[in-house]
Every structure is written in structure tokens, then in C-alpha cells.
Chains A and B, each alone.
Chain A
Amino acid sequence: MIAEIGLAALWLAAALAVLQMVSGAFALKAAEGEINPLAIYARPAAIVQAFLAVLAFFLLLWAFAITDLSIKLVATNSHSMKPMLFKLTGTWGNHEGSMLLWVGVLALSGGLLAAFEKRLPERTMGATLAVQGFVALGFYAFLLLSSNPFERLPVPAAEGTGLNPLLQDIGLAIHPPTLYAGYVGLSVAFSLAMGALLTREVNPSFARVMRPWVLGAWVLLTLGITAGSYWAYYELGWGGWWFWDPVENASLMPWLAATALMHSVSVLAARDALRTWTIMLGVLAFSMSMLGTFLVRSGVLTSVHAFAVDPERGAFILGLLGLYIGGAFTIFALRAGAVAEGKRFAISSREGALVFNNVMLSAILAIVLLGTLYPLLTEAFDVRVSVGPPYFNPAGAIFAVPMLLVMAVGPLLRWKSDKPARLQFELALIGALVIGTIALVSFFGQFPLLPLLGLGLAAALAVAAFLPLRGRKISRVPVATWGMVIAHFGVAVSLFGMACEGAFSQERLAAVAPGGTEQVGDFKFTLESVTPVAGPNWTAIEARLAVREGGGEPVILNPQARNFWSPPMATSESALLTRWDGQLYAVIGNQAEDGRWQIRVWWKPFVTFIWYGGILIGLGGILAIAGRVKVDVTRRSATAKGAQRRADAEALGSPAPMPAE
């Protein structure tokens, strides 16, 4: 019954998406200040639809929990012997299940928007919900027509065929759902942008409605990417933390667009400038999410992230992309010219710095997009290429370095117009920190250029992040400003980690006989033994490495080379020793003919700062949301009080003072 209820819930949700779309569209037909009687169904439709889609997801989760092998998806992706946690995470470790999660989050965001957003004009809200319903409808169709997660087998399978062993990891429990929530959260920004464009209501109050959604999606993306990077780092056993893999890029591109959007929406909210640009970014951010989905699932690009690849599904998603992205860009081209120009500002102003940041982020986005799609383009001409770090790192850095420099200064500038001369001290301090750090580090040895620049920038940024607090009473600094400070500081921390990893990592690859000792950095490691071990669905050989730092007590590390048997696959389980100032990363390889084992150990100074920084950035985002929502709530109650007072005053017959703009 579970499968049938789930399927029915999905069909019902799809029907409600139609209702939401049609009813929302009627809101546009209403005259100014009136509400079309047919438009009142959009909100309830969105809310019930959210409930149904989430219900469908939980039903699938249940089917995986009890390993219902009469459902095809469970039989092909699960196994009765799998630990419970991985049975559950298996729900979204495959194409159909992850699409259901995607659709569930999409419906949930639409439902939350419908339930809690009361500030927008009814016409804009109707248009927004109509667009959200339209987007949801396409993905319901995709799920129901080409990727039904609840499909039954004619005869229940005797046993499941397992799950990609790389995915049997706690990383999978948190990383994809967080990312999906972020991706799909951007759908609300997309719908709001389209709604505002259709009704030409692109103004600061619209920006204030959009901002928490962008911030929320951005926080989730930040945390999801951070978790994904750490997962790839310890699970793939290659010692790197970012591989410029198409699927990683697919998550980075919406993040870049969302980062730009988050800053431009702030300009729109505070200064009523950058109207069309904000709309463009709103469309772009979710377009990048959908593009990522297409790239990952259509199989047009090859990646380590294996989803069941199916050109027919690819064609379906490409059709959806054409409909949504193509449609949005068409409306943009037709309507954006009609959006009144926003307020103007000088180049040296807070807006100017934010525009610069936006342009640089967009340039990095273009570089990542080009690098990701380039193999697709050349393959169309039968040339197979692989674009990797040698392209992405320097090309990205060309824009990242100036962006980070301006990021240090931008928050110190005043809105509208400012004189750089006012900031002499701060500018000198930032410049001195960059140059001083680079000079100091170069004094100790030869290091590659990019990590060196990274170290200099990290030092300057770490200090500059707190400069906006200078001369302020700490207790009166708004929460949202704290958010910015912490997020910018997080960027510095993360950058420091990346630069240290790039500049100071030490590696030792050695064939070690049991009992043998090798050295990497300050660490001596002894291979004490290599023994076979068995897990619930794998066998492995496990090395016992005794690691000593200086003359200290030994710590035991147990890197494994695992063999999974359903499906057969070999993986390398790294063993990590975390210190405050870095990580020791150990991997066991093959056995040589003479009985020695290949052991690979890296000492990566401050590598953990990459992910600490990511967490700080996310935390900053959360603070920003909290601060904005708090201000909005206060303002709303103040506005309500003001309106009440005016109404009272008018009732008494005296003219009421109007609030200043």
C-alpha cells in the first residue's frame, strides 16, 4: 500500500500545482487594489501540495526503512543487510529518490512562501505562486512520467542489489539533502523575480521579501558544499578537497550566483538600485540549479558522481530547462526594459563595491560554467578533453583576487558616495597586511604564487572583516552586521586553509614492510601490522599505523582498503589524525611482491580551516537572516501601530503626520 499511497499523493500534488498555477495567474487579472475571486485558491493549493509532496517522500523513506523489495527502486538500491542508517540515506542516493526529495523541497518552499509571506501585493504574490506552481508541475511530470520512484516489481525481488559503496557513508546523510534544499530554495527567488517582473513591482519592499529566501538557500548551499567537500576529502582517499568535477561545479555555480544575488538584493533593499540586475541574478541562480540537475542526470558529462544515466531523462530535463530558463529569459528580455531604472550612485560607494563584487562573482561563474560545459562543446566535434585545475585555478583567481581585495574595503564605504581619502588608515592597513604577510612567508621558502597570494589576502581579510565594527558600540551593532562580519571572516579562515594546504602540504609515499618506520613532517609513523577485517557488507585489509609526533605518545591510525561485494567495488578508507594546526591523512594502497605495503601519508597544515571557514560563512548567513527578520518584524509592528494612530487621529478629525519616506 505504501507505494500506492505515495504515488497517489504525487498525482494529487501535481493536480494542485495546476490549480495553484491557474489560480495564481488570475491574480494578474485583478484591477489595482482588488482581489480576483478565482485567485484565492493559489495559497491553499501551495500549502496542501507541500504536505502531499513531503508525505510522498516520507512514504518512500519508510519503504527503504523496511526494505520493501516489491518496489523496484528499493530492490535496485538497497539490501536487507545494509545498516539502518544507510538504508535510510539510500532513499536519496539514487536518481528517482533524489528527484523526489528535490520535488518535496520545491513544494515545501512554495508552501512556506504561501503560508507565511503576507507583505507582497496580492498581484505579485499571485504571479509568484503561479510561476512556482508551473515550475513544480514540470518536475512532477518528470517524476511521474519518466522516473516513478514507487514503481512495483511484478514479482518481489529476493534480495536487493545494494548501493554504491562510496555512498555508504555518513556524509551522504547530510550533504545531498542540504544541497538540494539550497538548490530548490532558490526556486522561490526565481518565482519572486518572475512575479515582480510580470507585475513590474521591482522595488525595495520586494527585495526585503526576497532576501530571507536568498539568504536561506545560500546558507544551505554553503553548508552543503562544505560538507560535500569534506566528504570527498576523506571518502575518495585522494587527499584533495576540491576536484573541479562537473558535479561539484554544478553545486558551486548556483552558490556563486546566489552569493551575487544576496549582495545585489541587499543593494535593492537598502538603496533601490540594481533592479534589473537583481532580477537577472534571481533567474540565473535557480537556472544554475536546474542546469546542474541536467548535467548530473543526463549523462552528457562524465563524473565520479554516478547516477543512473539515461538520455531520455536528459531530454526531458532539457525540455524543462528550455521551458523555464528559456521562458524566463524571454520574459526578461521583453519586460526588463520596462522596469524603471533604479537610483544612481558613485563608483566609490558601498553600492559601487557591491557591483564590483557582483561582476567578479559573475565572471567566476562564467569561468566555471565555461570550463564545465567546454568538454560538452568539444565532444560535439568528437574531441574528448578534460578541463581541470590548471584551467580553473588561475582563471578563477584572476577575478577572485580583486574581488577579495574589494571585499575587504567594501563594507567600510558609505552608501551612495564616499571618498577613499576618508579610509586612508584602513586602506593602508589592508595593503600592509597583504604585502607584509607575503614578504614574511616568502622569507621562509619558495612557494607557489596562488597560495602565497591567498595567505596575504587571508591575513588582510581576517582583520578587515572586523573593521566595520571600529568606532561602534559593540552592543548596538545590528545582528545582520554581525552576520556580515562573521561571514567575511569565514572567507578569510577558509582562504587561509586553502592556501596553507596548497603551500605547506607534505606527502610521503613509501613501500613499508610491517615494522618499518617512515617520516612525514614532524610525524614518524610505524606500520605495526596489516590485518583483514570484515564489516556488514565488505571485507577489508586494515593497516595499523602508530604515529608519533616528535617524541610523544603514539596514536593509532587504521586506514583500510575495502572491498564491497554487492556491487563489487574497491574503496580506500582514509584515516585522519586531526590536530588544531592540521591533519595527518593516511591511506593504504596495494601490497608489493616483496610483501611491503604502499602507504601514503600527507601532513596538511590547517586544512581543516577550509571547512571551519565554510561553517563560519554559513553561520554568518544565519545571523543575517535572524537580524533581517527581527528588523522586519519590528518594522511591521511599528507600521501597524503608525497606521492605527493615523486612523485614530483621522477619526478625531485632525490631520495625521505622514511617515517620511
Chain B
Amino acid sequence: MRSRLYLWVPLALFAFFAGVAGYMLTQEKDQFVESAMIGQPLPDFTLEPAYPGLPGASKADFAGGKPRLLNIWASWCLPCIAEAPQLEALKAQGVEIVGIAIRDRPEDVANFLGRYGNPYTRIGGDPISEVQLAVGSSGVPETFVIDSKGVIRYQHIGDIREGDVSTLLAELEKAQ
């Protein structure tokens, strides 16, 4: 049987591709969409209170003094229950947390806060995800570090785990 060398070229090319692809599969891949808003000032927004217990939120609330956290959450969101203790821990460290409740109802918000604790100083209701999209958040929950000039400094995607509390505190420190 004659077997010419060039007939092996397709196999060689494919083997090269498979090698690269296999290597890439073993690499950690950043699955999340980073907000392009990092380093940008917060967009202008004013949100009505999400429930009668706390004032609503606006861009002005982030001006002056110290860095704050902007927490995007919802009462219908299960990971938000999981991150509630971490938000309480951050509050205990003296962090001011402004919440934005996405597509929520006042009675559900009140119910959630009654059950899982209230770490927020203000909660704005965002019934059509308008502000959520404007700050570059693609899911619930997400948490942003906003410095005293109202500039977005850091984005945490997903629920805050115990290990993330120190990261967020460090980012808040950096944003001073």
C-alpha cells in the first residue's frame, strides 16, 4: 500500500487544533461579563423607595464622605438569601450599603427584610431593571464598590460568600 506523506497533513492540522483546544478547556475561563462601567461615574438615577420603611436611592446618595456598597438584589432571588449574613457582617464593620431591589413588590421586600435582616440604609425600587442595566449589571445579586466621588471602583458578580467579605472591605479601603 502506498501512503503518501501529504495525506497526513489534514490529520496533523487537526491534531494541532485538538491540542490547543484541549489545553484551552483546562484553563480557567472568566465566565462573567465585567461591567465596562468600572472607573466610570455612576449614571444619573433616582429611584422611588422599594418599600415604605426606607428612603429610595439616587446618585446623590453616593456623594461625599466615604465609599459605599451598591447591592443589586431582589426578594425573589435565592442567592440573595444566601448573601444576607455577609451583608450583615459588612454592615457591622460600618459599611454603608445602598440597595436596589429589582422588579420587586413592596410587601415582598418588607417580608424579605423582616425574615433575613436589613443591612441597607436606603433601598430604591427598580421595576424595569433600568438602573441595573445602566450600571452594567447582568444578573442578581451583584455588588458594586462606589467611591466617595460616585465612581464605580469594583464589581462583585454573584452572591457574596464568607471569603468575599474581606475582599470587599479591602476594595472599600482602596477606594478611600
Interface residues of A (CB under 8 A from B): 280, 283-284, 287, 294, 298-300, 309, 311, 314-315, 318, 321-322, 325-326, 329-330, 332-334, 336-338, 373, 376-377, 379-380, 539, 563, 565, 567-570, 593
Contacts and interface: CB of A to CB of B under 8 A. Distances in A.
Contact of A565 (B24, B27, B103): B103
Interface string B29-69: 10100000000000010000000000000000000000000
Interface in B12-38: 14-15, 17-18, 20-27, 29, 31
A568 B1 contact: no
A437 B24 CA distance: 48
Given A333-B3, A568-B140, A563 B129 contact: yes
Given A329-B10, A333-B8, A593-B44, 13 more contacts: A284-B10, A309-B31, A321-B18, A329-B11, A329-B14, A333-B3, A336-B7, A337-B1, A338-B2, A377-B20, A565-B129, A568-B102, A570-B129
Contacts of B133: 568, 570
Contacts of B27: 379-380
A507 B22 CA distance: 44
Q: Which 4 A-B pairs have the closest CB atoms?
A: A329-B11, A337-B2, A568-B129, A333-B7
25 contacts: A284-B10, A299-B29, A311-B29, A315-B25, A318-B21, A318-B25, A322-B18, A329-B14, A332-B11, A333-B3, A333-B11, A336-B7, A337-B3, A337-B4, A337-B7, A373-B17, A376-B20, A376-B24, A377-B20, A379-B27, A380-B20, A568-B132, A568-B139, A568-B140, A593-B44
Contacts of A563: 128-130
Contact of B15 (A300, A326, A539): A326
Contact of B25 (A300, A333, A377, A593): A300
A560 to B, nearest CB: 13
Given A318-B18, A593-B44, A280 B10 contact: yes
Nearest to A538: B128
Nearest to A321: B18
Contacts of B130: 563
Contacts of A376: 20-21, 24
A379 B24 contact: yes
B103 A568 contact: yes
Contacts of A568: 102-103, 129, 132-133, 139-140
Contact of A539 (B8, B44, B102, B128): B128
B21 A294 contact: yes
Please classify the interface of chain A as helix (H, G, I), strand (E, B), loop, or mixed, using the class held by over half of its residues.
Answer: helix
Contacts of A299: 29, 31
Contacts of B1: 334, 337-338
A333 B1 CA distance: 11
Nearest to B1: A338
Contacts of A332: 7, 10-11
Interface size class of B (residues with CB under 8 A): 20 to 34
A298 B18 CA distance: 13
A329 B18 CA distance: 13
Given A337-B2, A563-B128, A298 B25 contact: yes
A318 B18 CA distance: 7
Contacts of B44: 593
B124 to A, nearest CB: 15
B24 A380 contact: yes
Contacts of A294: 21
A229 to B, nearest CB: 25
B108 to A, nearest CB: 14
B102 A330 contact: no
A250 to B, nearest CB: 14
Contacts of B128: 539, 563, 565
Contacts of B21: 294, 298, 300, 318, 376
Nearest to A312: B25
Contacts of B22: 315, 318
A568 B135 CA distance: 14
Contacts of A329: 10-11, 14
A315 B18 CA distance: 10
Nearest to B33: A302
Nearest to B24: A300
Nearest to B102: A568
Nearest to B28: A311
Interface in B124-159: 128-130, 132-133, 139-140
Contacts of A326: 11, 14-15, 18
Contacts of A380: 20, 23-24, 27
Nearest to A295: B21
A284 B20 CA distance: 19
Interface in B77-121: 102-103
B35 to A, nearest CB: 15
A539 B44 CA distance: 22
Nearest to A568: B129
Contacts of A298: 21, 25
Contacts of B10: 280, 283-284, 329, 332-333
A314 B25 contact: yes
Nearest to B103: A565
A299 B31 CA distance: 9
A456 to B, nearest CB: 35
Query: Which of B11, B27, B139, B140 has the most C-beta atoms of chain A within 10 angstroms of its own C-beta?
Result: B11
Contacts of A280: 10
A326 B10 CA distance: 9
Contacts of B132: 568
A333 to B, nearest CB: 4
A615 B27 CA distance: 42
B51 to A, nearest CB: 19
A330 B29 contact: no
A330 B22 CA distance: 19
A306 to B, nearest CB: 10
A11 to B, nearest CB: 28
A194 to B, nearest CB: 14
Given A332-B7, A338-B1, A311 B14 contact: no
Contacts of A373: 17, 20
A389 B129 CA distance: 33
Contacts of A338: 1-2
Query: Which of A294, A315, A337, A539 has the most C-beta atoms of chain B within 10 angstroms of its own C-beta?
Result: A337
Contacts of B7: 332-333, 336-337
Contacts of A567: 139
Contacts of A569: 129
A283 B10 CA distance: 10
B99 to A, nearest CB: 16
A299 B28 CA distance: 11
Contacts of B102: 568
A646 B118 CA distance: 96
A378 B144 CA distance: 31
A47 B155 CA distance: 55
A551 B20 CA distance: 61
Contacts of A314: 25
A298 B25 CA distance: 8
Nearest to A336: B7
A339 to B, nearest CB: 10
Nearest to A565: B103
Contacts of A287: 14
A572 to B, nearest CB: 12
A330 B140 CA distance: 49
A646 to B, nearest CB: 37
A424 B96 CA distance: 84
A326 B129 CA distance: 48
Contacts of B31: 299, 309
